[in-house]
């Protein structure tokens, strides 16, 4: 699977992503939740978001930037707020997902399917 911005057609994924089984998720604190090039359907994992998140990917699998509003990057030891989108596309600044890199959760980027397309739009 490859993902593209619905607003500017920017390719989010830096590699083809393959679906992994939820039992492959590493739920250890501070560890990548899944290896590069893989994704997990977020509803199949016991992490509760306050904003719609559909896919969980390794931080190295996508090319995003932190939101300009630094309050969205709140956390104890790193970003860990599950209630706001804090990652944007570099080209158009569309809000796409949440980076989680705090000490009390596994590390990943959660992506909202409402902001992406699996195919280029143009």
Domain spans, the chain: 4-117
Q: Give the model's pLDDT for residue 96.
A: 94
**Quick one: average pLDDT of 91-103?**
95
> What is the Cα–Cα distance from 38 to 61, expressed in whole angstroms?
8
**Quick one: average pLDDT of 61-79?**
93
pLDDT in tens, 12-67: 999 999 999 999 999 999 999 999 999 999 999 999 999 999 999 999 999 999 99
Mean pLDDT of the chain: 95
Contact 5, 94 (CB under 8 A): yes
Contact 96, 116 (CB under 8 A): yes
Alpha carbon dihedral 76, 56, 98, 58, in 10-degree steps, equals 70
> What is the Cα–Cα distance from 113 to 92, expressed in whole angstroms?
17
């Amino acid at each position: 699977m490859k993902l593209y911005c619905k607003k500017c057609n920017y390719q989010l994924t830096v590699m083809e992503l393959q679906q992994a089984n939820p039992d492959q998720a590493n739920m250890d604190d501070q560890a990548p939740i899944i290896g590069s090039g893989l994704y997990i359907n977020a509803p199949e994992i016991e992490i509760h978001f306050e904003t719609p998140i559909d896919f969980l990917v390794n931080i190295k699998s996508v090319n995003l930037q932190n939101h300009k509003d630094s309050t969205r990057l709140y956390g104890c030891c790193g970003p860990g707020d599950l209630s706001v989108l804090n990652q944007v596309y570099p080209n158009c600044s569309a809000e796409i997902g949440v980076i989680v890199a705090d000490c009390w959760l596994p590390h990943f980027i959660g992506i909202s399917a409402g902001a992406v397309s699996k195919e280029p739009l143009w």
